[in-house]
Every structure is written in structure tokens, then in C-alpha cells.
Amino acid sequence: MSWDLKKAIGHKFEPYELEITNKDMILYALGIGFQRDPLNEKHFNFTYESADEFQSFPTMNVIIAHRQSGANLTVPGIPAFNPMVLLHGEESLEVFSPIESDTTVLVEDTLVDVQDKGKAFILVYEVKITNKETKELIAKIHQNLFVRAKGGFGHKGTIKNEYPEPPKRAPCASIEEVTTKDQAFLYRLSGDLNPLHVDPQMSAMGGFKVPILHGLCTYGVTAKAVQEKFFPDDPQQLKKFTARFTSHVFPGETLVVEMWKEGKRIILQSKTKERGLVVLKGFVDMKDEAKM
């Protein structure tokens, strides 16, 4: 198949519905590192359905948005490619209302841009999550997938995220988040079943000697660190989280999340303690100005 961007850009995929339960909310929270201390009662708000303030963690939206992402790699007008040459490049989440338990959500996915990188190309998806009954918009997500396959079609794209550089000063906060060697096995139960993250034979096909942690797990762990530092009493303060994945994380590594407060914005980067490698950079926007 040859390139046909008129067919590709704007293509809408088959919508799907998901019923959100307490179990879904708890499993996601455990997957990004909540409740490592079984006596941490603040974590009960995400992991124990009888807690007075039981709620979903805001970045749960991203696992809902990409539940059928594998099926969305076949796009009219784009030549077929091996999914093992795909890397998650960027993720931008805007939250409009919390995910509630015992709610059915409607997920609508559109390919909104294709960007030529010469020896590779980028697919940009926009996903909207709405409450099926009330039609209320819950979240909007933009996902960039970097495909290590030949481009050469010329279109440079129109949708690009801007990333502020970390200020030239010490971080306002630096928090260590330890991942576990089995974390990918737990995280995948929330719906991201890509075998690259658990099967050495599949990870080898993607160029990794051993399985790597899901990028969106790193994303969630980073958001957890920001929430616990800057808005521990109101997790729903998270308005937007935009991040670029700059390298991979091996399960069991420790993430060092460095944060700089700039009014309602937290500029951040996560790096591995063991290798000193920046694996994620981006920013979180709050509804209200963050407190120290």
C-alpha cells in the first residue's frame, strides 16, 4: 500500500465502551506504586473501596484511552508495519472530570496527524473519553507513536507539543519512586497487554535484551510523585500532564522525579537512579496554584 494522507488523517476508529468498577480503579493504582506500605492510609483513597474519599487516580484515563490501541495500528492510507518497531513517544492528558466507579465510558479515537521523520514516522491520535449516560467529557488524550519504519512521504505534521526546559536552579522537590521487578506484570492487568513488557523473546524483537516497563507506567509513577508532593489532599487538582518519553526503564530501577514549581505548572523530569538517564520530561498543570 502507498501513502494516502487524505485517507489517514482524520480517520475515526470504531468507538468502544468500558464499564469502570472499583476493581479497575484499585488495580491501576497498585500498578503505579500505591500502597507499597500497607499501612499508608492516604493511599487507601485509591486502593480501598471503603475509604471515605475513595476515587480514581487521574492518570487512569490513559489506560482507558489505549485499551484497543493495537487494533488502531491498521489505518487506511498508511502502509502496514510490524508493531514491534513502534515506540511510545509522547502522551498528553487533559482532565475535565473524575472517573467514577460503576460508570460506563465511551472511548472515541481519531488519527489527527502523521509526521514524516525520514527513516521513521509519527502517528498522532486524539482520544476522547465521555460518560455514556450524561455525555460529559471526562478526558482528552493526545498520543504520539514513533514508528521505526520508512517514511519519506513529506508531510511534517501540524500537532506538536512544546516542552519547557527545567529552570537553571535546584529542583523544588526530588522524590525517589522504586519500581519492582514484577511491576510490568501487575500494570498490564489494567489493559496494556503488549508482550514486549513481559516476554524476553518479544522484547528482543523490539531491540531490548530484557522486557522494559510500560512507558505509561512510568508516566503514572511520575504523576503519583507530583501529586503526593504538591496536592496530596486533592488529587483531582491535576488538570493536564504532558510528557515525552526519552528512554526506557527496566523493572526494578528507581525513578528520581525532579520537580520545579512555576505557579500552576510543575516542570519535571524523571531519571533512573542506577543509570542517571532521563527517561521522561514534561509538565503538570494544576487547576489552582501548587503549594510547597
Residues known to be catalytic = 192, 197, 212, 215
Q: C-alpha cell of 181?
A: 521487578
The torsion of the CA quartet 161, 123, 268, 97, rounded to 10 degrees, works out to 80
- Residue 256, number of CB atoms within 10 A of its CB: 20
Strands 173-178 and 254-262: antiparallel
Strand order in 103-116's β-sheet?
Answer: 16-20, 103-116, 121-131, 137-147, 86-95, 238-245, 278-286, 265-272, 254-262, 173-178
The residue type found at 257 is V
Q: How many CB atoms lie within 10 A of CB 22?
A: 14
